[in-house]
Chains A and B, each alone.
Chain A
Amino acid sequence: VSTTADHGRPAAPAPRAATKRRARRRRIRRSAWNVVGLAVFAVVVFPVFWMISTAFKPDDQINSFTPTWFSTEPTLQHFRDAIARPYFWDVVKNSLIVVGAVVLLSMVVAFLAAVALAKYRFTGNKLFVVLIIGILMLPQVGLVIPLYVVLARYGLTNELLGLVLTHLVILLPFAVWTLRGFILGVPKELEEAAMVDGSSRLGAFTRILLPLVAPGLVATSVFIFITSWNEYIFANVILTDQSNQTLTIWLSYFYGTSRNVDWGGLMAASTLTAVPVVIFFLLVQRRIAFGMTAGAVKA
C-alpha cells in the first residue's frame, strides 16, 4: 500500500512558535484519527478473528455465556471432528478436481481470445467485448434454471463435468477481460524489437510476451480458483449426492437443523474452507482488484 497520500509535508517558513503549535495540533488530530481507525479495524477484522478463536476453543468456553476472547488452552479437537465428518475427503477431492479442470480449461481458452482482443483489430471486435462484459454482469441465479434443465437433458446433473462446464462459462468472460488487460500492459515495442531482430511472430510471442504476462496468468488463474472453490448456487443445484458435492456445499450443510449446534466444529470447518482461499487471495488481490474499474480515472 502506498503511503503517498500523506498530508504531513513540511510547511512554508513561518514563525517557529506557530509552526510548533501547528505541528502539535496536527499530531493530536492524527492520534484522534488513529483511534477511529483502530476501532474500524476491530469491527472489520472481528468476524475472522472470532471464527479462528472459536475453532481453537474448548467446548465449555464456547458455550459459556461470558465469552472467552483468547483461549489459554487451545485445542485441535474441533479440527479433528470436522475432518472426521462423513464425506470430508470426498468433497475436498471433488473441489480440487472441479477447480483444477476449470482453471486449466478457462485459462487456455480465455488466453487465446484475450490475445485476439489485445493484439488484433478486427470487425466484430466491439460486439465481442459487449458479449463478454454483458455475460460478466448476468446474475448467476437467473441462469440456474436453464443450465439445470439443459444439463439434466444431457445427463450431466450430479456429475462433476456438469459443474465444470457451468463454472467454465461463468468464469470465461472474466478471464478474457482480465487477461486482455495484462497483455495490453506489455509494451508493444518489446515485441516489435524482437521481431526486428529476426524473431518470428510466434517466437516474439513465446519469448517476450509470455514471460511478461506470466504474473497476470498466475493472478487470473488464482482468482478463477477462488471463485470456483467458493461458488455455491450452481454446485448446490447440480451436485445432489452427498459424496459428489464440493467443500462449499458440504460446509453449508454442516449447520444442520439440530438445536445444539457444534459451533466449534462449524468454525473449524469454516476455517478449513477459507484457508486456501485467503492465502491465495492475499497473494493476488492487488493485481486483480483494479481490473473491474481499470482506467476509470485516467479516462
Chain B
Amino acid sequence: MTVAAEASAHRSRRRPRRVSRVLRGATPYLLILPVVVVITAILGYPLYRLVVLSFQQYGLPELIQRKGVWIGLDNFESVLGDEIFWRTLLRTVVFTAANVALTIGLGTLIALLLVRVSSWVRVLLTAALVLAWSMPAVVAVQVWFWMTNFQNGILNYVLTELRLGDFAQHDWYATSFSKLAMVTLLIVWGAIPFVTITVYAGLAQVPRELVEAAEIDGAGPLRVFRDVTFPILKPIFLILTSLSIIWDFGVFTQPYLLIGAPHIDTTNYLMGVYVYIEAFGESDFGRGAAISLLMLLIVAVLSVFYVRRMVQMGATR
C-alpha cells in the first residue's frame, strides 16, 4: 500500500463520521425518492392537468392541437346545472348504499355461519369464497352474461324449476332497475369473500368466555352478536364499510360491461360510467374533467376516515 493511499484511508476513517451521519439522515429520503418521482410525474402532473382541463374547453380538436381554450367555471356551471349529474349522483349513492349493505350484511352472516358448521363444510365454503374472490371482473361479467341471458340462461331455468314463477325468456336487462340489480348481484358476489374472510378472522379473536357467559345469562344469538361480538369487531366493520363505500362508489368495469355500451344511457348512469362516457363517448374532456374532479372530491371526503385510521395504525407500529 502506498503512503498516499494509507493517508487517505486514515482520513476516510476519521472524516466520514460526519459524512455518514449526514448520509444516514438522508437515507430514508433517498429511499423514497424513486416513488415520489414516479408518483409526481405520472400522477401528480396529470392531476394538475385535470384541474387545468376542468377550466378549459377541451374536445377532439383541442386534443389533436394539444391546446385547450380557457373558459373559466363554465364546465362546472354546466355540470352542476345539469339534472343528469344530480340524478346520477343520487342513483350512485343509493346503489352504493344497497351494495355495501348487502355485502357487509351477507358477508357477516356467512362468517357467523362458518363458525357454526362442521370443519369439512367450513373448508368447502372457504374454498368457494376464495375462488369467487379470485375471479377477474371481466371474466365474472362474461359468466354473468351467460347465466342471465334470456334465451337459455341458467337463472331463468332454475327460478322456473323452483316454481318461483314463469321465468322462461325473462329479460333481466329490460329496465334500468333490473340492469342495476344484476350489476349489484355481480358486485356483491365478488365482494362478499373479502368481508366474510376478514370478519371470520376477527371472530376468532372474540374471547369465547364472554360469549359463553352471555349465553349462560340467557342471551340469544342475536343478543350475543349485538352486545358481545359486534362491539369487539366494530373497528373491523368500520374499516370494511368505509373501504366498500369507496370501492362501490367508484365502480366502473362491472356496470359498464354488464349493461353493455350500447345499452348505457342517462337512466342507468353511475358516477364512474358517467365520467367515462362524458369524456370518451362525448369527447368532451373539459366537462369530463370537471365531473372527475367532483367525483374525486367526494371520494376524498369519504376516504378521510379510512386514511386517518390507517395512518394512526402506521404511527403506532
Given A37-B117, A45-B128, decide whether A169 and B42 contact each other with a Cβ distance below 8 A: yes
Judging by beta carbons under 8 Å apart, are A137 and B46 in contact? no
Considering only CB atoms and an 8 Å cut-off, how many residues of chain A contact the other chain?
112
Q: Which chain A residues numbered 119 to 149 have a C-beta less than 8 Å away from chain B?
A: 119-120, 122, 124-126, 128-131, 133-135, 137-149
Q: Does B136 contact A (CB under 8 A)?
A: yes
- B58, B131, B280: which contacts A48 (Cβ < 8 A)? B131
The smallest beta-carbon distance between A32 and chain B, in angstroms, is: 9
Judging by beta carbons under 8 Å apart, are B138 and A44 in contact? no
- A137, A140, A146, A172: which contacts B252 (Cβ < 8 A)? A140
Q: Does A281 contact B (CB under 8 A)?
A: yes
Q: Does A233 contact B (CB under 8 A)?
A: yes
Interface 1/0s, chain B 131-153, versus A by CB < 8 A? 11111111111111111010010
| Cβ contacts under 8 Å, B316 to chain A | 299
Judging by beta carbons under 8 Å apart, are A37 and B121 in contact? yes
Judging by beta carbons under 8 Å apart, are B39 and A169 in contact? yes
- B46, B115, B240, B293: which contacts A147 (Cβ < 8 A)? B46
With both beta carbons as reference points, the residue of chain A lying nearest to B121 in the complex is identified as A37
Judging by beta carbons under 8 Å apart, are A296 and B28 in contact? no
Interface 1/0s, chain B 180-214, versus A by CB < 8 A? 00000000010011100110111111001000000
- B134, B147, B257, B300: which contacts A277 (Cβ < 8 A)? B134
Interface 1/0s, chain B 267-302, versus A by CB < 8 A? 000011001100110000100110011011001100
Which one of A13-21, A84-92, A191-199, A286-294 is at the B interface?
A: A286-294
Q: Does B116 contact A (CB under 8 A)?
A: yes
Q: Which chain A residues numbered 141 to 171 have a C-beta less than 8 Å away from chain B?
A: 141-150, 152-153, 165-166, 168-169
Judging by beta carbons under 8 Å apart, are A141 and B276 in contact? yes
For the complex of A and B, 10 pairs with smallest distance between CB atoms? A139-B250, A281-B134, A146-B46, A116-B31, A120-B28, A146-B50, A45-B128, A116-B28, A37-B117, A230-B136
6 CB contacts below 8 A, A to B, read A38-B124, A140-B250, A145-B50, A255-B142, A257-B262, A266-B142
